[in-house]
Structure 1
């Protein structure tokens, strides 16, 4: 095999060889470790499932990757009791395998290594007390295990080339686009939630739709109608199916984003704003007072109360019909005789009795 490796000038993550060459650790688990290690420090304070969801790793693939990381010491979990009788799960993540004792020490805020000697301080892993000898003599402390290097600040020699002028020009910040309005965000969220009616595999939760509403609102700002946005997101789905609705829609919203329309003298008027949702009102239905958001201005009862009123109305109608049943209709012979008598009375001829 021929290999040609070019070291990147920036934006890279150093990975331990023990992690990359681990014979029993799955590829999804390795990618998850590298992804979290490459994040800025302030972006790592999330649950492992949220980091996996950002990679499009959900369901059985995530459960298998997490089981691998827990089995080989990269992730440790412990349930703790908090105030109010509630429970929380504390996760300790490391790019190096940790023992249960080391993970417990990290949760307590002390170094993971060096716990064989307390140094007379009573705290495991603390540095030994310095002696009176000059220069001060003491045993070296061990390296903390489990720490992650911050993104783009790697230690060691840098053998890469300095950035070129083209790279520096590309790093100049561009003008920030105007943020979408609240009306556009609400309309974009409604479009995303309505995709489940187009295809069940595009079903999103409310929180997922709110996370993608900013990307979808940018389409609306560029002149795409709500119907066209819905069609662009739900058409031409892959034949093998959509693995995760959130990841698929996020990719499509970014990759298929239309260009901004050119500004002309005629197009100075602002686009028409979408109607705002109606405010919450009190339901006129029976029971305790509760609020709901009507879909039309003339609606005064919520869905459950309206259905209950309809059931009560039809039950009362059936009960009255059973209490006062309608008379039995005449047979066809009786109807014919009535019709003949009515025709004879109208023509002036009556029925005559014949003597036998």
Structure 2
């Protein structure tokens, strides 16, 4: 009983966990492997906050990387990017909106010295650093600190900002708003996005714009000409608010009324052929009887 077993360790050894296990030290696992070489020319530093963004789509991440690699002054509008990549204008526009939402892109319309309005695009490699902190006034000790919600505040500032959306510009209306005319205008507006993907309108926007289109159709403008006037010469960077853009065009480019045209004179009445009761010759008259020659002979004889 007094002897000890020399083969028993004095204390239990700690279990090796994870990759420190001796039998797992040289095991190869699957997954991505890197074969990197150091760049010395023509390279761009991209932050992992963009390359591994959890909310951006893969197209937006790739487009953001491409924009950060471009030199200053390079074209970055939608049509130029669509000509460079196989994706269409609609997908590229959606990716640009994603980058703009998350702060990797800023687009603003500025007026040049010649009076032309252009869009200035700015790529931000660190959106958080570009944002300036907003100074919040300090509360006094006696003022209670309470976090308001949309239900508690009347109204909440953010909710009030959404509610105060700028109304759409007024559009002209037809002099005689016939149901068939308004339906033709609605059908034309609903079909615009097939010719220009930017011009996809909601039900409310279509109802607001249909009287303006009806005013054009009432002035003898063919539907094809109305469609061309609304879709031609769109901004290269696209339209952010299609309904406001179309409302401005409908009011600003409204054609004049058609010239007055006097109603055409009715065609002369063409009577049917009748057989003369005197000479049996055919003549035109509303009723059977005698022709003009027989009537003249009778008058002379009398």
Is the shorter-chain TM-score for this pair beyond 0.5, marking a shared fold? no
Structure number with larger C-alpha Rg: 2
Under a length normalisation based on structure 1, what TM-score does the superposition of the two structures give? 0.27
